[in-house]
Amino acid sequence: TILYKLKLGEIVTTIPTIGFNVETVEYKNIQFTVWDVGGQDKIRPLWRHYFQNTQGIIFVVDSNDRDRVVEAREELQRMLNEDELRDALLLVFANKQDLPNAMNAAEITDKLGLHSLRQRAWYIQSTCATSGDGLYEGLEWLSNSLRKAGHN
């Protein structure tokens, strides 16, 4: 949903990503090639095939799913330990903030252990994919940080 909201500016009814979708998204004169890789357990081992030349990661967390936030933390840590992602910036979208029981960004930060990431630039943004709230603020941080790091 997020990828197509950024690409098309509208909600596209999507099914969970099986495999991957790839799109080019332009924001403030930066072209992002976005690889949307599905989150189901069975396809997570395939993620590493997309890590080469990655300059930024957008990790989307379902803020309403308290039962799986530990699993999200483990997957994030596993991914960040990959050598090819050593220098990649990390943007976390704390998604589904429109739901009444959603964890806020501070709680997600804590549960994902983001403060322990000392050697990596990271940022967390509260988002709601369906309304688009927070998506561009997150991209703003990512594009500014990529510019500062010398990536164009």
The residues carrying an active-site annotation are: 40
1 is in an annotated binding site: no
The amino acid occupying position 38 is G
Q: Are strands 89-95 and 122-126 parallel, antiparallel or unpaired?
A: parallel
CB distance 109 to 124 below 8 Å:
yes
Of residues 9, 10, 38, the one with CA closest to residue 22: 38
Which tokens go with 18?
Answer: 């099986």
98 is in an annotated binding site: yes
127 is in an annotated binding site: no
17 is in an annotated binding site: yes
Packing angle between helix 105-112 and helix 69-80, nearest 10 degrees? Answer: 60
Burial tier of 115 (Cβ tally within 10 Å: 0-12, 13-18, 19+): exposed
144 is in an annotated binding site: no
Annotated binding site: 17, 39, 95-98
Annotated binding site for GTP: 39, 95-98
Annotated binding site for Mg(2+): 17
